[in-house]
């Protein structure tokens, strides 16, 4: 049986440099993987709008996962038949794991009276305020605000109230992932579930190949995907502690941060030279 690797990768701080968002150092390895027909599948907190721009720069035509695992986008025609459980959305077959943005906005509106002045969120902030709090350019902020399945929360209240907020959500079966500056609320969708579903889809579509999944990430919100894959690779971060895996799988730790570490650890694991 032909061996087939699938490379699932976080973007910020992993394939993209933490500070500059550049990926020059990974370019030769990206080209090598494309030549070897090894798909590189972005799996990120970014939105579809952000990904569509980035895929052009990356010259990547493979599926991708947006908003922290909320949805998997597969380009139409990528597989010979439409995968099960997907919907037709524009040029993509889409499998979503989360309610739509409006659900989250309405949930936050309903909580506002109990947490007066403790939080705000993207659609309430408006783009000028998003620019101010993210450091993104106005154009980039507009793409980040073009959300489909989630609503980032900016916490401005006390730690005690934040704990109360998390507890209240947990009682409704939802939990909070703390990103850099924003809180992300999830109903259980995560990068791990998206990786597992997409891997099963590849396996159904390519039954004559033995699939091995590799996942690369640099932070806590990558844990679920690192634990769901066959070979986790943790990319060194200049700002974050290494995420700690509970499974005792043979994790690879990169020796360098960002795209340099991305290339170096894949070269070591796959034993392929860079072009
Ligand atoms: Mg990251």
**Per-residue pLDDT, 23:** 97
What is the location of CATH 3.30.980.20 in the chain? 101-186
Is 90 exceeded by the pLDDT of residue 1?
no
pTM, entire model:
0.93
Which superfamily is assigned to 2-97+190-270 in CATH? HAD superfamily/HAD-like (3.40.50.1000)
Q: Is 208 a catalytic residue?
A: no
Q: Which residues surround ligand 1, an ion (CB under 5 A)?
A: 10, 12-13, 218-219
CA–centroid distance, 45 to ligand 1, in Å, is 8
Active site residue: 10, 17, 218, 222, which one? 10
Instruction: Please name the residues in contact with 250: beta carbons below 8 A apart, sequence gap of 6 or more.
Output: 231
CA–centroid distance, 207 to ligand 1, in Å, is 32
CA–centroid distance, 80 to ligand 1, in Å, is 32
Is 80 exceeded by the pLDDT of residue 74?
yes
Assign domain 101-186 one CATH number from 3.40.50.300, 3.30.980.20, 1.20.120.80, 3.40.50.620. 3.30.980.20
pLDDT in tens, 151-183: 999 999 999 999 999 999 999 899 898 876 799
pLDDT in tens, 80-139: 999 999 999 999 999 999 999 999 999 999 999 999 999 999 999 999 999 999 888 999
The predicted model gives 231-238 an average pLDDT of 94
pLDDT in tens, 34-57: 999 999 999 999 999 999 999 999
CA–centroid distance, 208 to ligand 1, in Å, is 33
User: CA angle 120-99-195, nearest 5°?
Assistant: 105
Instruction: Please name the residues in contact with 266: beta carbons below 8 A apart, sequence gap of 6 or more.
Output: 7, 29, 33, 214, 216, 233, 272
């Amino acid at each position: 049986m032909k061996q087939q690797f699938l490379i699932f990768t976080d973007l910020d701080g992993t394939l993209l440099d933490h500070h500059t968002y550049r990926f020059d150092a990974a370019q030769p390895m990206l080209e090598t993987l494309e030549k070897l027909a090894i798909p590189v599948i972005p799996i990120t907190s970014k939105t579809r709008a952000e990904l569509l721009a980035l895929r052009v720069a990356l010259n990547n035509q493979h599926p991708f996962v947006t908003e922290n695992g909320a949805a998997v986008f597969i380009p139409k025609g990528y597989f010979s038949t439409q995968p099960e459980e997907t919907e037709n959305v524009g040029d993509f077959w889409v499998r979503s794991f989360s309610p739509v943005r409006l659900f989250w906005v309405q949930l936050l509106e309903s909580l506002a009276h109990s947490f007066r002045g403790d939080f705000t969120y993207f659609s309430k902030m408006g783009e000028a305020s998003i620019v101010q709090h993210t450091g993104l350019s106005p154009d980039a902020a507009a793409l980040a605000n073009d959300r489909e399945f989630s609503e980032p929360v900016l916490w401005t209240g006390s730690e005690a109230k934040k704990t109360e907020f998390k507890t209240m959500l947990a009682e409704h079966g939802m939990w909070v992932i703390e990103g850099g500056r924003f809180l992300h609320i999830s109903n259980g969708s995560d990068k791990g579930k998206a990786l597992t579903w997409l891997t099963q889809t590849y396996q159904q579509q390519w039954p004559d190949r033995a699939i091995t999944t590799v996942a690369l990430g640099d932070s806590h919100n990558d844990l679920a995907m690192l634990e769901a894959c066959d070979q986790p690779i943790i990319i060194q971060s200049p700002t974050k502690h290494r995420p700690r895996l509970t499974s005792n799988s043979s994790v690879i730790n990169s020796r360098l941060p960002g795209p340099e570490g991305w290339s170096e650890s894949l070269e070591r694991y796959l034993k392929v030279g860079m072009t």
